Amino acid sequence: MSNIVIIGIIPVVIIIYLFMIYTSRQKELKLKRTDSLYTVGLNQMLHKEYLQAIESFQKYVKENTENIDAYIKLGNLLRKTGKAQNAVNIHSNLLFRQHLTKEQKTSIMMHICEDYYDLKNYQKSLSVALDILKLEKKQPWAIEMIWKLYKEMKEWEKASDFLNKFSSLNKKQKSRLLSIYKVQDGIDQYYNNGKYHEARLTFRKAIKLDPSCEAPYYYIGASYIKDNRENDAVEWWTKFVETCPEKAYLVFPRLKKTLFNLGRFEEIHSFFKNILKKDPENIETNIALAEFFESKGDMGEALSLSHQLVDKHPDNIKAKIALVKFLTAVDDSREANDVLKKLLNEIQQPNISKCSVCGHCESDVVWICSKCGEPDTYFNL
């Protein structure tokens, strides 16, 4: 090769070399810049600066389209800011990528499931969750989500099936929930439609699932009232109290009225006494017993019981008001007595009107919130 050719090649080689160095440095600078955007986005998420984080991740994914995690985070941020449909679009598009691992696909589907849940499209969310189980049969997150979705959809039998697969609950918790679900199934299918006999058959199945769950006893009693079988109602409400004396106050008004209608008024005394044998400090029952004495005209017993109650529970407002009511009655201050009686009735209303989870109000006794589907949220357990 002649010297002239060699001299001509050297500059070309140098130019190519310099171009390669320049290109490499540009890539490094671009990578540093995009990595910086990713880090900034993570910090903004941490500080709940969601709109700024969305902007950072949007800029990041324009320059780095391979980072699946960045797209997942962007979708989640959009869902958090009320754009769940946009989140569905972003997360769903990720499933079309090739060479996804099973773990990546499962993770993406979880987020899609949450997107649809946020949109209240429970059927779509359920479909995705069931598809997750096709990839991984015992995937715990999917099992819990399906259980949650069936509750939202008020499909109690299917909710029960997945509750049994949900491993984080102990046997006692599962038994109670299964019983409550069965009761709710009976209410939805039969009780609310006037099919009280069929409802009772379902409620009896709930008792078999968990004999210690008080809900079925309550509704069996209530169903007998609907069928004008008051003696049977008394029997089942008595079983309700025996099962759960701390919630006996739930049946006091209806039970007293029923016994009075049946001419069995004197049984009210023994009814209250039986409760107090198991739960002697039950304030509501003691007050109800004192009112029973008052209704019989035995103010001495009513006052004596009220004094004892206040002595034992000096900070309890209900006990104090009851005592004042009886004292006023002795002095025959009728107007004051009427006012205090109304006040006492208001205070004695069971704390079941507002769900402790979602705030939904109910006008009747319920064991499952009709809005959020959560159990036991109307009682202080």
DSSP labels for 144-186? HHHHHHHHHTT-HHHHHHHHTT-TTS-HHHHHHHHHHHHHHHH
Q: Is residue 169 part of a domain?
A: no
Phi, psi of 368 (to 5 degrees): -130, 130
The count of domains in the chain is 1
Residue 64 lies in a domain: yes
Q: Is residue 71 in some structural domain?
A: yes
Residue 367 covered by a domain:
no
| Angle, in degrees to the nearest 10, between helices 140-152 and 102-118 | 20
What is this structure's pTM?
A: 0.73
- Within a domain: residue 316? no
Q: Is residue 249 part of a domain?
A: no
Taking the C-alpha atoms of residue 3 and residue 89, their distance in angstroms, rounded to an integer, is 63
pLDDT tens track of the chain, all 381 residues? Answer: 555 555 556 655 566 655 565 455 555 445 445 557 888 888 988 889 999 999 999 999 888 888 999 999 999 999 999 999 999 999 999 999 988 999 999 999 999 999 999 999 999 999 999 999 999 988 999 999 999 999 999 999 999 999 888 767 788 989 999 999 999 999 999 999 999 999 999 999 999 999 999 999 999 999 999 999 999 999 999 999 889 888 888 888 888 889 888 888 778 888 888 888 888 888 888 888 888 888 888 888 888 888 888 888 877 778 888 877 887 777 756 656 664 676 666 665 555 568 888 888 887 888 888 888 888 888 754
**CATH number of the domain within which 29 lies:** 1.25.40.10
Instruction: Report whether 220 contacts 202 (CB < 8 A).
Output: no
d(CA 280, CA 278): 6
Whether 132 maps to a domain, the answer reads yes
Which domain range does residue 145 map to? Answer: 3-153
In a domain, 37, yes or no: yes
Structure tokens at 34: 């995009």
Output the six-digit token pair for 131. Answer: 């598809």
